[in-house]
Amino acid sequence: MKCTKLLFLVSLAFFSCKNEKTEVVNEEAAKPNVLFIAVDDLNNMIGPIDNFTNVKTPNFDRLADMGVTFTNAHVQAPLCGPSRASIMTGLRPSTTGIYGMTPDNSIRRPGNDATKDITFLPEYFEQNGYHTMGIGKLFHIHAPDSMFNESGGRVKGFGPYPKKRFVWDGRGKGIKGVHGKTNTDWGAFPENDTLMPDHDSANWAIKRLQRDYDTPFFLGLGFLRVHVPLYVPQKWFDMHPLDSIETPPYLADDLKDIPPVGLQINDLPMMPSTEWAIESGEWKKIVQAYLACMSYVDYELGRVLDALESSKYANNTVIVLWSDHGYRLGEKGTFAKHALWETATKAPLMFAGPHLPKGKKIDAPVEMLSIYPTLLELANLPAYERNEGKSLVGMMKNDEGIEDTYALTTYGMNNHAVRTNQYRYIQYEDGTEEFYDHTTDPNEWYNEANNPKYKEKMEELKGYLPKENSKWDSESNYTFQPYFVEQKARVNGESVRPVKVIGADK
């Protein structure tokens, strides 16, 4: 009898341990891996969204078939530094005061009450049992120190650069030593893809997809192209013959009804103007170079997707692909991001993974701020209470809230744009306004802010503006544009003084 009882107790302990182990395994299996892909300066010309001038992007098309594409996603700032800081903190620029370029290590620090104890997106995954890895441009430069368990770093700048370059260069009203200057040039270089930094970044990510892991992983991959200079090997230009290139819609006197602050913000002498591009015959060449860069990044994306699909993680990995802002290719008079208009604020956002619809497109406006909470829900992790964005999982699976959504973009202190399904409303710091009805004016050529017909709708959209507008963070600067240098000094009660140029727009 004693032996029988002892055998029963041993068996009970064995099955208890086995069940406990099974629960742990099942808990880990419920946490998918995350492949987090950022593409710099990518606008909506890719095949799955606008398919502009028959661009060749088969791997963006492939990713769209694998999951959900948001065709009307908007950034929280039309500038890489504040846009990426918003995605990684889950906070709006108006909350943090990060309106310009901020050193990665200075985003979270005691001097900023909003971010001093924030948990960055990759950190949240690490705190919940993930092995985190990252390479390339993820934050503004790469990432704060010790952000990832494994870091591949970031190649400085946006090379490689040919010895002889045409560089559009200028400061306009800028002052040497106070205002930075940037450059834009384009052409076929280098000889092959292996000389591109993005190729090395893709290789680094591919190697990590071939490894074994004891825990789920978070893998961040930041591509540099299609950021200027628009240089990629000749074969990518050959895919887009010059005689087949179209140019975006353009109206010469488009800016005649824009308020003075909007004109100041759009004063970008360091970028080519559309009038210059027309007169010089370079417009189609610039568009061709941009599309060539887009096709090149598409190729590198395809290599990473191939590696994932041939790995043991193919069926248990969430993919998110995003860009930090749109890019104007002649619209509104210039070639740049830097605006609160549609082509500067709108950028691709794509999700794929277990239990998500395949090949679905959502045209409702959404925010890049939603990336953080959406990934947490897809990974079956607890929500982070500090997130100001909303998860898009319900929208992707069940079309929840699709009729009532909106997107808010901020550019500098107290300059905001609100995008709804039909309208765009812009309010500048002095209270001046712009208003566009996309059903009749998809190019935003005619400012209807003074049209009585839209007065009630404008009042409604004002309700979406942030109630808090923090002053500029002391470590955040944008020296390339005189307006922002002056605004920061004015609102913070500082004198205009030389500021160290931060990072890679130079």
The mean predicted confidence, pLDDT, of the chain is 92
Higher pLDDT, 1 or 407: 407
Q: Using the predicted structure, report yes or no on whether residue 12 has a pLDDT greater than 80.
A: no
Which residues are catalytic, by number?
Answer: 80, 140
What is 186-231 written as a DSSP string? EEE-SSSGGGSHHHHHHHHHHHHHTS--SS-EEEEEEE-TTSSSEE
Helices 80-89 and 371-378: crossing angle in degrees, nearest 10, is 40
Query: What element of type H or E holds 184?
Result: strand 183-184
Mean pLDDT on 37-59? 97
Say which residues have a Cβ less than 8 Å from residue 114's Cβ, sequence separation at least 6.
91, 95, 96, 97, 470
Q: Using the predicted structure, report yes or no on whether residue 315 has a pLDDT greater than 80.
A: yes
Query: What element of type H or E holds 232?
Result: strand 230-232
Least confident of 412-416, 471-475, 498-502: 498-502
DSSP E strands: which ranges in 86-149?
131-136
The pLDDT score that the predictor gives to residue 93 is 98
Mean pLDDT on 359-368? 98
Say which residues have a Cβ less than 8 Å from residue 458's Cβ, sequence separation at least 6.
425, 433, 435, 449
The pLDDT score that the predictor gives to residue 293 is 98
Residue 6 banded pLDDT, cuts 50, 70, 90: very low
270-274, 289-293, 401-405 — which one is most confidently predicted on average? 289-293
Say which residues have a Cβ less than 8 Å from residue 309's Cβ, sequence separation at least 6.
none
Residue ranges per structural domain of the chain? 30-492
Q: Using the predicted structure, report yes or no on whether residue 244 has a pLDDT greater than 50.
A: yes
| pLDDT more than 90, % of the chain | 85
Q: Which two tokens stand for residue 84?
A: 């990426």
What is 134-149 written as a DSSP string? EEESSSSSS-STT-SS
Higher pLDDT, 180 or 4: 180
Q: Using the predicted structure, report yes or no on whether residue 311 has a pLDDT greater than 60.
A: yes
The pLDDT score that the predictor gives to residue 379 is 98
| pLDDT more than 70, % of the chain | 91
The pLDDT score that the predictor gives to residue 167 is 78
Least confident of 28-42, 127-141, 370-384: 28-42
Say which residues have a Cβ less than 8 Å from residue 63's Cβ, sequence separation at least 6.
48, 301, 305, 319, 321, 350, 352
Q: Which two tokens stand for residue 6?
A: 């002892």
Residue 476 banded pLDDT, cuts 50, 70, 90: very high
Mean pLDDT on 85-111? 98
In the block, residue with structure tokens 């948001």: 70
The top-level CATH class assigned to 30-492 is: alpha beta
- Given a contact cutoff of 8 angstroms between Cβ atoms, the answer to whether 248 and 45 are in contact is no
Residue 168 three-state SS: strand
The pLDDT score that the predictor gives to residue 23 is 38
Q: Which two tokens stand for residue 363?
A: 């045209």
Mean pLDDT on 430-457? 98
Measured between alpha carbons, how far is 371 from 54 in angstroms, rounded to an integer?
Answer: 29
Mean pLDDT on 111-118? 97
Residue 100 banded pLDDT, cuts 50, 70, 90: very high
